[in-house]
Amino acid sequence: MADDCGVSSNGYLNHEAAKKAAHVAGFGEERVAELRSLLGKLDGDALRIVGVGAGAWGSVFIALLQDAYGALRDSVQMRIWRRGGKEVDKPTAEHLFEVINAREDVLRRLIRKCAYLKYVEARLGDRTLYADEILRDGFCLNMIDTPLCPLKVVTNLQEAVWDADIVVNALPSTEIRPVFQQIGRFWRERRTMPVIISLAKGVEAALQPIPHIITPTQMIVDTTGVPAENVLYLGGPNIAAEVYHREYANARICGSEKWRKPLAHFLRQPHFVVWDNSDLTTHEVMGGLKNVYAIGAGMVGALTNESATSKAVYFAHCTSEMIYITHLLAEQPERLAGPLLADTYVTLLKGRNAWYGEKLAKGELKIEMGDNISGKGMIQGVSAVEAFHELLRQPSLSVMHPELNKPVAPVELCPILRALYKILIQRNAPPSAILQALRDENMYDPRHRIEMDEVYIPQLLRGKETPFKRVLSNGPIILDPVPGGY
């Protein structure tokens, strides 16, 4: 019987572990050495990688690195932080017990560690399990059906991050500010700042001094004082459990060239291809945007008994709105079309936001229950609906309506976004209101909203006043974007 390092009971590596060790030795040491050199690590000082937040994707991400580099214990150390004290309810404990017994490798590992009995007791209701406790055994509370490798879990935030070289942010965007404000205080005395990879897909809207978007990486820079070049975003069309099951996946890491290229090399695995890109903010915003429309997709599927025709109509409308919004945000929106649609597609197929919309429409969840759902975690699309609606309703961002030939707030050209805002934020419309947003009573082709040659508003991402030219279908208009409109 082999232990967690792949060493058999008689002291020899078994065949599969030997192959894995040889594979790690072939590529891992070179990649680790490259990062250690860039970070100025001394001989004998391990590269310290810390995950902050232990949702499904955050846990999988650290587990992937543990699987890839865990054998290089003298060179790399990995740990993950999550808050302590989160109880595992009895139905989840019962299901967890079934998962354990269905997997011989997991069952043997827990018996070998003398950890199996506590899951028996939890199933019987004689013991309470905690989320950080089961994560040490390789179980993420938001993804019980996918056992991971055991992880080193730390519940004290200062202990987790104070000496980190690379921090992986997997917090929901709504939790980033308070947590990273604490982290920033821990780092005040540091001589060098760490590199941060953010996995978060959410946005905030700021209206002062002018309307603009605030992204998770910007929140991290603001709260910690870490140089912007040290903060990167990684995202892609991936489902966490499927990535851990070694299904082929890809992602982009976006940010400064100094870090994105070596990090892409470090993170890349045979089944997980990582590309690099310089356009951090726009990719980050698009990662939040697709969650908005995924909720609506789940609603439409449930309300129409999974009608392929209805879902196709929704897809046509929602992609039209998303492309329109990218034209507001990006100077070269065509570069985003592929990644945005791919990420949207996988989220509509199997993401938690689509699942949430489906459950709301079926009445199995109530909006009053909030957007942090047991077994799923934070539904990021809800806060993103509010942020994008708040931003795009500002009159200072007015665009020319293609049919009415008069200035309107951009949100007026986004009927699905408006419907979702009424359902989820104002709570004055039922989920069925999403279907009304699809009905074309005025023979209005949604394509018209993206027929403008250029509708780029730089201030939305830059957060500062910038004179710009906007070319509409009926001719050019020169605008100075100041609060209050034209």
Catalytic residue among 118, 201, 290, 359: 290
Whole-angstrom Cα distance, residue 20 to residue 13?
A: 10
Spatial contact of 21 and 6, defined as CB atoms under 8 Å apart: yes
Spatial contact of 197 and 238, defined as CB atoms under 8 Å apart: no
User: Which of helix, strand or coil describes residue 282?
Assistant: helix
R_g (Cα) of the chain, nearest Å = 24
Whole-angstrom Cα distance, residue 262 to residue 30?
A: 11
Of the candidates 49, 52, 50, 48, which has an alpha carbon nearest to the alpha carbon of residue 179? 52
Spatial contact of 468 and 329, defined as CB atoms under 8 Å apart: no
E strand spans, 263-329? 272-277
> What is residue 285's DSSP assignment?
H
Whole-angstrom Cα distance, residue 300 to residue 362?
A: 10
Of the candidates 164, 165, 133, which has an alpha carbon nearest to the alpha carbon of residue 150? 133
Of the candidates 102, 198, 81, which has an alpha carbon nearest to the alpha carbon of residue 144? 102
Tokens of 466: 């910038």
Whole-angstrom Cα distance, residue 185 to residue 275?
A: 33
CA 122, 127, 128, 132 dihedral sign is negative
Q: Annotated catalytic, 350?
A: no
Supply angle C-alpha 292, 297, 303, rounded to 5: 135
Beta bridge partners of 212: 206
User: Which of helix, strand or coil describes residue 375?
Assistant: coil
Whole-angstrom Cα distance, residue 153 to residue 136?
A: 6
Cα torsion 32, 33, 39, 44 to 10°: value is 100
Q: Is 149 exposed, middle or buried (0-12, 13-18, 19+ CB in 10 A)?
A: middle
Beta bridge partners of 206: 212
Please give the positions annotated as active site: 290
